[in-house]
Amino acid sequence: MQKEKAKERIILGIDPGTVVLGYGIIKEVGNTISLISMGVIKMGHLDDHALKLQRIFKKTSALMQEYNPDCVALESPFYGKNIQVMLKLGRAQGVAMAAALAQDIPIFEYSPRKIKQSVTGNGNATKEQVSAMLKNLLKFEETPQFLDATDGLAIAVCHSFQKNSTSGSGKSYSGWSSFIKDNKDRIK
């Protein structure tokens, strides 16, 4: 009997921002993920908010055309004290969503806490802790110029982990030993 070919998908993770937008692209084959690309889109040099939104739309659209992701995962807006900042971030996220929807790519949202919890096991992890975990998980050495790039990558990884944790039996585990016993193929 032939073993079924592992399904493959490309996931684009986006950390929306109006000064710097971070992104990460991973390839998932079965339960294995690998880094394709990560980086930032800079907008600090633009004074006009509309021009920043236009740049987000054009650059994220270009990323989607180049890498042809199967889905896009974004960080959802979080509650903040400055309503103007929240509005600008919401617009940035909306424009990135529109770029994906214009290309018929499904979108998913995750809270900052859910992303950190998924990648590090700690919902209150720092950006540096998330970055360190991703370097270990995806085996890359270069330090991104901005932690926004690893934030985008963390969102993609978070989405991959959601699929893996809900696929199959949807079983919950009582501890690491029971998880490892049922997931030998995921342990390196």
Given the residues 66, 104, 128, 148, the one annotated as active site = 148
Q: Is 48 a catalytic residue?
A: no
Give the pLDDT confidence score for residue 13 in this predicted structure.
98
Residues 72, 14: contact at Cβ < 8 Å?
yes
Amino acid letter at 41?
A: I
pTM comes to: 0.82
- Residue 2 lies inside a defined structural domain of this protein: no
CB 70 within 8 A of CB 9: yes
DSSP class of 164? H
- How far apart CA 27 and CA 153 sit, in angstroms, is 11
Q: How many residues does the chain have?
A: 188
Tokens of 111: 């809270």
Kindly state whether residue 3 falls inside one of the protein's structural domains.
no
Number of domains in the chain: 1
Show the domain range for 113.
8-186
- Binding-site residue positions for Mg(2+): 15, 75, 148
Does any domain span residue 127? yes
CATH number reported for the structural domain that contains residue 60 in this entry: 3.30.420.10
Q: Is 4 a catalytic residue?
A: no
Catalytic residue among 75, 109, 141, 182: 75
> Is 28 known to be catalytic?
no
Predicted pLDDT of residue 147 = 82
Tens place of pLDDT per residue across the chain (188 aa): 555 556 899 999 999 998 999 999 999 998 899 999 999 999 989 999 999 999 999 999 999 999 999 999 999 877 677 888 888 889 999 999 999 999 999 999 999 999 999 999 999 999 889 999 999 999 888 776 678 899 999 999 999 999 654 433 334 445 556 556 666 665 55
* 168 DSSP assignment: T
Residue 50 lies in a domain: yes
Residues annotated as binding site? 15, 75, 148
Among candidate residues 8, 15, 142, 151, the one labeled active-site is: 15
Q: What is the pLDDT of residue 167?
A: 38
Pairing relationship of beta strands 71-75 and 8-15 according to DSSP bridges: parallel
The contacts found for 158-162 with CB under 8 angstroms, 24 or more apart, are 158/13, 158/73, 158/110, 158/114, 158/115, 158/118, 158/119, 159/11, 159/13, 159/71, 159/73, 159/108, 159/110, 160/11, 160/26, 160/28, 160/33, 161/118, 161/119, 162/108, 162/110, 162/118
Query: What are the DSSP calls for 16-69, one per residue?
Result: --SSEEEEEEEEEETTEEEEEEEEEEE-TT---HHHHHHHHHHHHHHHHHHH--
Closest CA to 116 of 102, 105, 130: 130
